């Protein structure tokens, strides 16, 4: 009908979840590449909340991870950062994040962006029916991780062809773990993370063992 013919096309929103401890150029290239290939209007970075401890490891304060993500994305008019997960005071699953993004942007079409390593986990442990109702999934290549979809294949067969798309992106063998390790050892993280993030890490003494802050 006429209403439909004149309606604007649905906004396409990328959602990039992560711990971002710290955010690095691997995250930014992934978001940028998916935004380009899928013609997204915006990519929303969603840092995970604090209570969620990565395999029992210590995670930097949510506010620091949030601010680093803001600093890293500030210059890109299509990138933004959501506080949704850091303000929810409980363990966050991808499905929670997507539900919240959906209700904040009811008319948008959501694309959840994830690296090969994280995608396998999400699809293995969570409720498929709801996940795929909420978003399309875009898995990006990541050096050192083979995307093994063997155990997912029988499920994937039942889904629409565009429910999960795998794409090849420029390979950046950068991880937050390695950035933290380098910072802890006084080695440079320049050019692995945006300049403002290098400066923020040093200003807030992130990742350096307690008591050695002044010595770098």
Query: Which residues are near ligand ATP by CB under 6 A?
Result: 18-21, 26-27, 30, 114-115, 117-118, 140, 142, 172, 174-177
Q: How far is the CB of 8 from ligand ATP (least distance, A)?
A: 30
Question: Considering beta carbons, is residue 19 or 73 the nearer one to ligand ATP?
Answer: 19
Question: Considering beta carbons, is residue 47 or 132 the nearer one to ligand ATP?
Answer: 47
C-alpha torsion 170→175→178→184, nearest 10: 120
d(CA 158, CA 33): 27
Q: How far is the CB of 95 from ligand ATP (least distance, A)?
A: 15
Upstream peptide bond of 117 is cis (omega within 30 degrees of 0): no
Q: How far is the CB of 193 from ligand ATP (least distance, A)?
A: 10
For helices 62-73 and 25-37, what crossing angle results, to 10°?
A: 50
Q: How far is the CB of 178 from ligand ATP (least distance, A)?
A: 7
Nearest to 58 by CA among 214, 176, 186: 176
Question: Considering beta carbons, is residue 170 or 209 the nearer one to ligand ATP?
Answer: 170
Question: Considering beta carbons, is residue 21 or 85 the nearer one to ligand ATP?
Answer: 21
Q: How far is the CB of 41 from ligand ATP (least distance, A)?
A: 20
DSSP track, 17-49: EE--TT--HHHHHHHHHHHHHTT-SEEEEEEPP
DSSP 3-state of 113: strand
Residue nearest to ligand ATP (CB): 115
Question: Considering beta carbons, is residue 73 or 176 the nearer one to ligand ATP?
Answer: 176
């Amino acid at each position: 009908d006429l209403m439909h013919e004149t309606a604007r096309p649905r906004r396409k929103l990328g959602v990039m979840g992560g711990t971002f401890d710290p955010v690095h150029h691997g995250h930014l290239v992934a978001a940028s590449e998916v935004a380009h290939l899928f013609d997204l209007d915006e990519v929303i970075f969603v840092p995970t909340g604090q209570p969620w401890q990565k395999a029992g490891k210590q995670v930097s304060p949510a506010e620091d991870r949030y601010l680093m993500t803001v600093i890293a994305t500030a210059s890109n008019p299509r990138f933004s950062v959501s506080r949704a997960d850091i303000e929810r005071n409980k363990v966050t699953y991808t499905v929670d994040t997507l539900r919240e993004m959906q209700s904040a942007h009811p008319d948008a079409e959501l694309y959840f962006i994830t690296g090969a390593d994280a995608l396998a986990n999400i699809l293995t442990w969570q409720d498929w029916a709801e996940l795929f109702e909420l978003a399309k999934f875009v898995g990006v290549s990541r050096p050192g991780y083979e995307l093994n979809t063997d155990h997912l294949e029988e499920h994937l067969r039942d889904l629409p062809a565009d429910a999960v798309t795998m794409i090849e992106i420029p390979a950046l063998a950068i991880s937050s773990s390695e950035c933290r390790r380098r910072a802890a050892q006084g080695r440079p993280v320049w050019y692995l993370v945006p300049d403002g993030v290098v400066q923020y890490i040093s200003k807030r003494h992130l990742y350096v063992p307690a008591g050695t802050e002044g010595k770098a």
